[in-house]
Chain A
């Protein structure tokens, strides 16, 4: 009896520690319950189709007939891998990503910094930079199509007005790429701009105040305070932008139809063309899987790099944050 009473108080801290480590069971159940709608949607519309796609990719499935069609083994995959047009299309998606990602990140950062330092009409600039992002791609494509139209469009006319030969924006490969990248920059950079604007607002004004009192020029403030403090945002913007750019489809499809001579056709349009336009569902599914693996690999590589970067930087950033935390105190006391 006595042993029991002595052990009881000793065992008590155990559930208490458990509570500290993990939320109580009722909380966990509530969490699960709250996320159930999402999990159902996730399973039905994401995991389900993905598994279905994997199955389809081994059959000669077609969209015009019920059922899976004949078993073809891995031949859909071998045909996709051997198709030069698939690799061309894949390269177009990668090329688009390589060109647009740095531009969209840098321009958004630049615009966000400028818009935050401006004194008058800040709301106007924020709105102006973000406004294009809310326009649907079909509308943007229509507007730009008119601007690029050979002979009668705004841009060819402008070139003509200053005596320059207008580039063939829609009919040549280089012109097509230029056209689609300019349009994408104008249309999508507002999203990154908003992320950066939000992050800039999170930087305590005291830091700038202190720097200004220490004699830092605006450029030094941007270079030594804003940009380093925005590093987590930059990392997020980068991966979001890479994934978004790799998924490019609508603006190229609407503006150029993947032309001229399929020289701008992104891989998603290749999948759409074979899977839907040519009714070759199984083949399209195989192409999708190849691309899916590629995108997952990019995301995983990015995640791994970031984790390594974070752990390495952690030791280095500690003194920096410490100084940053202490410096505001001094000027405030002085003021």
Chain B
């Protein structure tokens, strides 16, 4: 009995010693986990959601920071794209252990800002480093502003653009005199004629896009066309539905004028669109510019990328979103740490020519106007799209990959597939939007 006691006591003592040993070494993950503090793994902790080509470019930009800031350690963590990322960012910030710098889509910003999860960029000290409104694409800077306060530093604009097969376009007589772009298209009728010409030039389809089970792409496409005619579909921070019914019917009718007569497939998913465009079976491709790196890998495919022309309405509109750098709120962050975070942000902006290789238009004007970017083709072709950018309407439920995009996108897919007529689709959209405008917001928005 006595022996057992000593053994137990010895074990308890040993365990206690091990625990105090762990706690005294403050930087250990165990200690920070037990005390709930942020692990001091590096001087700057950066979270992003980039994999593939974008991920590789971001690593180059991180290395550039490390080279120019010897002695400053940077830890970059890549998390799964989309909702998992935003859930983690929000929960980590709410529980007091956020990264020093994070990436956010500007379309997701309104809710994060309203929830009080982000530091206003003015207070982070980036202004002293020359990060000011006049040096950014105005549309992106405006979208980074929520209720008069700027909460994010835009990194890029990534618009929904028009890809075309150069060989088919030449055969179809769509190229301009210089051979570097398309002949100007003025109205939707010109656009429809161009699709017909592509088909006549030997393509199976005039154009292709990812439709089936891809509500976000459907929403981008719809949003772009509809925005040429009318304002946002929801207003007052997402509490009111504002539908211009004739404009919406016209939009749906136009979409069906392409899929109905077979100028575009009615059913096609992302990989299908990829195959059709890569193999020259579709003349045009409607997609985000972020697809450029993957098409570059296709041997024998000559393609170019331009902004969409004005389809309905007087001026061209580009549906777009932006990646932006944010500083999640952390009352425990030291001033020195915050200063390093600001310097990291500036460094990322200064190297955004590298970022542009992924197809994105840099939002930082010094780079956007630099030779390093302007030498990049086709990226330089659609810079204007960043200035005509139309973002998701401001609401707690909108944004990249949101449930909102899934719901309204599903209705648009029905239209594209020809299962729902324009008038019926307007009613369906009204019902879709009503679900969100009447739901109780998770956070109050002004």
Interface residues in chain A, defined as those with a beta carbon under 8 Å from any beta carbon in chain B: 60, 62-66, 69, 72, 75, 79, 85, 145-146, 149-153, 168, 170-172, 255-262, 273-274, 276-281, 283
Q: With a CB–CB cut-off of 8 A, which chain B residues contact A170?
A: 212-213, 267, 269
Closest-by-CB residue of A relative to B112 is A64
B356 sits at the interface (CB 8 A): no
B410 sits at the interface (CB 8 A): yes
Tell me the complex Cα distance, A259–B410, Å.
7
Interface residues in chain B, defined as those with a beta carbon under 8 Å from any beta carbon in chain A: 83, 87, 90-91, 94-95, 111-112, 115-117, 211-215, 265-269, 271-272, 275-276, 396-397, 401-404, 406-407, 410-411, 413-414, 417, 435, 439-440, 442-443
Tell me the complex Cα distance, A195–B18, Å.
46
Tell me the complex Cα distance, A129–B215, Å.
36
Tell me the complex Cα distance, A279–B91, Å.
11
Tell me the complex Cα distance, A276–B402, Å.
10
By the criterion CB–CB under 8 Å, are A150 and B410 in contact? no
Q: With a CB–CB cut-off of 8 A, which chain A residues contact B266?
A: 171
Main secondary structure of the interface of A (DSSP, over half): loop
Q: With a CB–CB cut-off of 8 A, which chain B residues contact A60?
A: 440, 442
Task: Tell whether A151 pairs with B276 under 8 Å between CB atoms, given A64-B112, A260-B410, A261-B413.
Answer: yes
- Among A62, A66, A277, which residue has its beta carbon within 8 angstroms of that of B403? A277
By the criterion CB–CB under 8 Å, are B83 and A277 in contact? yes
By the criterion CB–CB under 8 Å, are A273 and B94 in contact? no
Q: With a CB–CB cut-off of 8 A, which chain A residues contact B213?
A: 170-171, 255-257, 259-260
| Least Cβ–Cβ distance between B282 and chain A, in angstroms | 10
| Least Cβ–Cβ distance between A96 and chain B, in angstroms | 17
- Among A63, A64, A151, which residue has its beta carbon within 8 angstroms of that of B272? A151
By the criterion CB–CB under 8 Å, are A149 and B411 in contact? no
Knowing that A63-B90, A279-B90 are A-B contacts, what are 8 other residue pairs whose CB atoms are under 8 Å apart, sorted by A's residue number? A69-B442, A171-B417, A259-B212, A259-B410, A276-B87, A278-B404, A279-B442, A279-B443
By the criterion CB–CB under 8 Å, are B94 and A66 in contact? yes
Task: Tell whether A62 pairs with B276 under 8 Å between CB atoms, given A150-B212, A171-B267, A262-B407.
Answer: no
| Least Cβ–Cβ distance between A36 and chain B, in angstroms | 17
| Least Cβ–Cβ distance between A273 and chain B, in angstroms | 4
By the criterion CB–CB under 8 Å, are A273 and B403 in contact? yes
By the criterion CB–CB under 8 Å, are A149 and B272 in contact? yes
By the criterion CB–CB under 8 Å, are A63 and B269 in contact? no
Tell me the complex Cα distance, A276–B90, Å.
11
- Among B90, B265, B410, which residue has its beta carbon within 8 angstroms of that of A64? B90
Q: With a CB–CB cut-off of 8 A, which chain B residues contact A72?
A: 440
| Least Cβ–Cβ distance between B398 and chain A, in angstroms | 10
Tell me the complex Cα distance, A170–B276, Å.
17
Q: Which of B91, B406, B413 has the most CB of A within 10 A?
A: B406
By the criterion CB–CB under 8 Å, are A261 and B115 in contact? no
Task: Tell whether A257 pairs with B406 under 8 Å between CB atoms, given A64-B443, A145-B271, A171-B267.
Answer: yes
By the criterion CB–CB under 8 Å, are B272 and A277 in contact? no
- Could you jot down 23 A-B contacts, CB within 8 Å? A62-B115, A65-B94, A65-B116, A72-B440, A145-B269, A149-B269, A149-B275, A150-B212, A168-B212, A170-B212, A170-B269, A172-B417, A255-B213, A256-B213, A260-B417, A274-B403, A276-B83, A277-B83, A278-B397, A279-B396, A279-B442, A280-B442, A281-B442
Tell me the complex Cα distance, A151–B442, Å.
42
Tell me the complex Cα distance, A17–B154, Å.
79
By the criterion CB–CB under 8 Å, are A64 and B413 in contact? no
Tell me the complex Cα distance, A171–B212, Å.
5
Q: With a CB–CB cut-off of 8 A, which chain A residues contact B115?
A: 62, 64-65
Closest-by-CB residue of B relative to A166 is B267
Task: Tell whether A259 pairs with B272 under 8 Å between CB atoms, given A62-B115, A64-B94, A64-B117.
Answer: no
| Least Cβ–Cβ distance between B411 and chain A, in angstroms | 7
Closest-by-CB residue of A relative to B274 is A152
| Least Cβ–Cβ distance between A175 and chain B, in angstroms | 9
By the criterion CB–CB under 8 Å, are A62 and B413 in contact? no
Tell me the complex Cα distance, A37–B271, Å.
47
Tell me the complex Cα distance, A60–B115, Å.
13
| Least Cβ–Cβ distance between A78 and chain B, in angstroms | 12
By the criterion CB–CB under 8 Å, are A261 and B269 in contact? no
By the criterion CB–CB under 8 Å, are B111 and A64 in contact? yes
Q: With a CB–CB cut-off of 8 A, which chain A residues contact B275?
A: 149, 151-152
Q: With a CB–CB cut-off of 8 A, which chain A residues contact B401?
A: 277
| Least Cβ–Cβ distance between B222 and chain A, in angstroms | 14
Q: With a CB–CB cut-off of 8 A, which chain A residues contact B276?
A: 151-152
Q: With a CB–CB cut-off of 8 A, which chain A residues contact B271?
A: 145-146, 149, 152
| Least Cβ–Cβ distance between B197 and chain A, in angstroms | 21
Shortest beta-carbon contacts, A-B, top 6? A62-B442, A171-B267, A277-B403, A66-B94, A64-B90, A64-B115
